[in-house]
């Protein structure tokens, strides 16, 4: 299957990076190189693009798409380790970093990966197929309480307790091995009258995917580390797809922007607040109506931008 991915907020992301043609840029979530293809077009031969992805199939597809560009470095790794990755490349600072935190269209559509609640496939959901726990491990070994907490926190699913209860009840007699089995359990856990807001399994599948790939826990520190890797006036652009991600990114950027907490009557700051830069857009940038009609996966996308001082 060809690695296809429709890049979300493409024009807005490229504008957000404010590209210097001779600069060094990092696409921390390379995917099918939709965003990277536009970044590298804006670079001169002196410029450099570093593409990071923990999905080997994505790296292979991206290297094929960008084969005509000699100033691209491909890294099999995780953007959570961006400081170490740059250090190994003997690069101390970069001009811009892009993080698109969504799952690629290919990963969702490729049945063997088990990301999609449509069809029937093995429960996997790993972005890095070479290691880590699978979705099958999560639904068959986690306690009812832990499952309920994950489905509620990462999926914001109000029927999380009932879904977790029914998962544990089902696995008393049978292993849950396929996406179809899990979808049926979820559908039977949510009242039919409440199943009119998109697919009933969407939130639970999102939650399990986040748990499998450890997408949330390191995110705050990843934003901080990314900002620390920027040159002066360098920019970090982050695209999120659900409220929990967006909230963490927003809070990390606010903290890095810094805010004096001293009483207004003091002649100078004594609280020690330090600013590492500024947030470019107070409100996140969202997809246009036109893009949302063309690509339904863009409907929940939010873009936040930070500039290093």
The string of pLDDT tens digits covering residues 174-197 is 999 999 999 999 999 999 888 877
Q: Using CA of residue 39, residue 246, residue 122, residue 183, what is the dihedral sign? A: negative
300 pLDDT more than 80: yes
200 pLDDT more than 90: yes
The string of pLDDT tens digits covering residues 226-262 is 999 999 999 999 999 989 999 999 999 999 998 777 7
Q: Tell me 103's DSSP state.
A: P
Q: Using CA of residue 37, residue 39, residue 42, residue 48, what is the dihedral sign? A: negative
Instruction: Extract the tokens encoding 228.
Output: 């620390």
Distance CA 3, CA 61 (A): 6
Q: What is the pLDDT of residue 175?
A: 96
203 pLDDT more than 80: yes
> Could you tell me the maximum CA-CA distance found in the chain, to the nearest angstrom?
70
108 pLDDT more than 90: no
Other CB atoms within a 10 A radius of the CB of residue 226 amount to 28
110 pLDDT more than 90: no
Percentage above 90 pLDDT, the chain: 76
Q: What is the pLDDT of residue 1?
A: 45
Distance CA 174, CA 204 (A): 20
The string of pLDDT tens digits covering residues 40-90 is 999 999 999 999 999 888 899 999 999 999 999 999 999 999 999 999 999
Q: What is the pLDDT of residue 196?
A: 77
Confidence category of residue 273, pLDDT binned at 50, 70, 90: confident
Do 78 and 131 form a contact (C-beta atoms < 8 A)?
no
User: What is the reported pTM?
Assistant: 0.88
Q: Using CA of residue 28, residue 31, residue 35, residue 40, what is the dihedral sign? A: positive
Distance CA 127, CA 29 (A): 11
Residues contacting residue 68 through CB under 8 Å, at least 6 positions apart: none
Q: All domains of the chain, ordered by start, with CATH?
A: 10-101+216-308 (3.40.50.150), 117-212 (1.10.150.170)
Residues contacting residue 168 through CB under 8 Å, at least 6 positions apart: 143, 144, 147
Residue spans of beta strands (DSSP E) within 151-284:
230-240, 277-279
Q: What is the pLDDT of residue 4?
A: 56
Give me the numbers of helices (H) and strands (E) for the chain, helices first please: 13, 8
């Amino acid at each position: 299957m060809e690695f296809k991915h429709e890049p979300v907020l493409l024009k807005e992301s490229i504008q957000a990076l404010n590209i210097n043609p001779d600069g060094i840029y990092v696409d921390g979530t390379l995917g099918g190189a939709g965003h990277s293809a536009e970044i590298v077009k804006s670079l001169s031969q002196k410029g450099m693009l570093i593409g990071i992805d923990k999905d080997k199939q994505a790296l292979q597809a991206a290297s094929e798409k960008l084969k005509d560009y000699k100033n691209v470095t491909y890294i099999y790794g995780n953007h959570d380790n961006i400081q170490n990755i740059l250090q190994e490349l003997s690069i101390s600072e970069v001009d811009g970093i892009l993080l698109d935190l969504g799952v690629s269209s290919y990963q969702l559509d490729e049945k063997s990966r088990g990301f999609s609640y449509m069809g029937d496939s093995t429960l996997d959901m790993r972005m890095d197929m070479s290691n880590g726990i699978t979705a099958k491990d999560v639904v068959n070994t986690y306690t009812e309480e832990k499952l309920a907490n994950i489905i509620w926190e990462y999926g914001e699913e109000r029927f999380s307790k009932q879904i977790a209860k029914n998962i544990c009840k089902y696995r008393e007699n049978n292993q849950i091995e396929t996406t179809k089995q899990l979808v049926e359990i979820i559908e039977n856990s949510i009242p039919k009258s409440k199943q009119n807001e998109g697919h009933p399994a969407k939130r639970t599948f999102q939650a399990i995917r986040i748990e499998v790939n450890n997408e949330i826990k390191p995110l705050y520190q990843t934003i901080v580390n990314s900002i620390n890797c920027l040159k002066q006036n360098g920019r970090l652009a982050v695209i999120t797809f659900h409220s929990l991600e967006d909230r963490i990114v927003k809070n990390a950027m606010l903290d890095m922007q810094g805010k004096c907490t001293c009483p207004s009557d003091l002649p100078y700051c004594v609280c020690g607040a330090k600013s590492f830069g500024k947030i470019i857009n107070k409100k996140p940038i969202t997809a246009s109506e036109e893009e949302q009609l063309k690509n339904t996966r863009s409907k929940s996308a939010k873009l936040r931008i930070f500039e290093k001082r």
